[in-house]
Structure 1
Amino acid sequence: MIAVKDNFLRFTPEEYFVWEEQQLERHELIDGQVYAMSGGTINRGRISIKITAMLDSHLDDSPCITGNSDVRINILETTDYSYPDTSVTCDERDKTNIQYISYPCLIVEVLSDSTEAYDRSEKFYRYRRNPVLKEYVLVSAKSISVDLYRKNDLGEWVITQYRAGDIVELRSINLSFPIEQVYRGIAFE
């Protein structure tokens, strides 16, 4: 998703929820400022759908909830809200809120040229403040490439890079899959 700042709109979370329900597109709320989320490429959209469907199918008989890009996440201990491409929560506290989740164990972002730097830096900084988050996954829409950030037992984030031929391992939800599964039918320029 591409975030476009709207310089005139500032909201409290309560005002934001009411206002956004009336909008045609989604908006993130960061530091009281809203950012419109615009579309991406066909490859990006198809990859996002494949990932979300795969995770949802894997977790079908579990108490976990898989969210697509319409599921908002509250950045814990802030009044900020964002829309990752895919998220998973297995936390009971998220089952009673219909507007957002706060305790994801896994967040996936499919990269685009306009958001890659933000997804790798500031957005990841915000997400990793959540003590429940175990894995943050960045998926390329331009090549067969997945970067997985996993929190180790010391609380440090360690990166594992997956490329063609690799098996991606998501320990947070006990799922391993060939990286090519995410890229089936995707043609790169």
Structure 2
Amino acid sequence: MQLQTKPQYYTPEEYLELEETAEYKNEYRNREIIPMVGGTTNHNQIAGNFYRRFPLTINNQDYYSYMESVRLWLAEYNLYTYPDVMVIKGEPIYHGEGTSNVTNPQIIIEVLSKSTQGYDHTDKFQFYRSLPTFVEYILIDQYHYSVEQYIKQSDNQWLVNFYSGETAILKLSSVEWEITLQDLYQRVNFESEEE
């Protein structure tokens, strides 16, 4: 007979305190702390390629981009999470004390892995859609040249575009910016089986 263990619950404040000294990142989902799966070199390379190439100013408007260590707070779902890359138009709006938790991304980029792709496509996308500033979601496959782009429409519906192949060009909808998949996947080794 297997013993059932009761889940341990935490307040957001307890989570944030524990996260300060944690050896690895954790997500906070409605009172539970969920360890995040470790990233791979390909995952990190792709996120870094997007982050490094995204400009800070487009058409005289300021943008801030953050990668992996800045948390996103989603009040409606009582959730703290770490998107791979976030783009914020104008100044970031912070939650709580300090500058580690933001609430107003315009664009969120997630690099898909075998263990997280289901979550990124379903629950996580639903959580992100609760943010009024969020209008564009980019999902990047780390195993081959493939990108999904979700664009919020005026009627709260989401349009999806698919990009595949090395020569395809990802054109963002909410800002005037584009990147070739060749540049997005620069220095990625598809033959390495990590994870």
Higher helix share: 1
Matched letter for residue 69 of structure 1: E
Which residue number in structure 2 is paired with residue 125 of structure 1? 126
CA RMSD of aligned residues (A): 2.1
CA contact (8 A) 2:94 2:103 kept: no
Matched letter for residue 75 of structure 1: L
Q: How far does residue 182 in structure 1 lie from its aligned partner after superposition?
A: 0.7
Matched letter for residue 182 of structure 2: E
CA contact (8 A) 1:65 1:89 kept: yes
Q: How far does residue 77 in structure 1 lie from its aligned partner after superposition?
A: 2.8
Which residue number in structure 2 is paired with residue 59 of structure 1? 56
Matched letter for residue 142 of structure 2: A
Q: Give CA deviations for 1:134-164 in whole Å, capped at 9, x if unaligned.
A: 1011000000000000101221111100112
In structure 1, C-alpha distance between the alignment counterparts of 2:76 and 2:99, rounded to whole Å = 18
Count residues with an aligned counterpart. Answer: 182
Which residue number in structure 2 is paired with residue 153 of structure 1? 154
Which residue number in structure 1 is paired with residue 178 of structure 2? 176
In structure 2, C-alpha distance between the alignment counterparts of 1:85 and 1:46, rounded to whole Å = 11
- Segments of 5+ residues of structure 2 without an aligned counterpart are 1-5
Classify the secondary structure of the residue corresponding to 2:178: strand
- Segments of 5+ residues of structure 1 without an aligned counterpart are 1-6
| Greater mean deviation of Cα atoms: 102-111 or 67-76 | 67-76
Report whether the alignment pairs 1:167 with 2:169: yes
Which residue number in structure 2 is paired with residue 31 of structure 1? 30
Could you list the runs of 4 or more consecutive aligned residues of structure 1 that deviate by over 6 angstroms after TM superposition?
none
Q: How far does residue 185 in structure 1 lie from its aligned partner after superposition?
A: 2.2
Structure 1's 98 and 168: CA in aligned 2 closer, same or farther, altered over 3 A?
A: same
Q: How far does residue 49 in structure 1 lie from its aligned partner after superposition?
A: 1.2
| Greater mean deviation of Cα atoms: 148-157 or 135-144 | 148-157
CA contact (8 A) 2:64 2:91 kept: no
CA contact (8 A) 2:170 2:181 kept: yes
Classify the secondary structure of the residue corresponding to 1:109: strand
What percent of counterpart residues are identical? 30
| Greater mean deviation of Cα atoms: 61-70 or 179-188 | 61-70
Classify the secondary structure of the residue corresponding to 2:101: coil
In structure 2, C-alpha distance between the alignment counterparts of 1:64 and 1:9, rounded to whole Å = 39
Q: How far does residue 36 in structure 1 lie from its aligned partner after superposition?
A: 1.3
In structure 2, C-alpha distance between the alignment counterparts of 1:95 and 1:31, rounded to whole Å = 19
Q: Provide TM-score, normalisation by structure 1.
A: 0.88
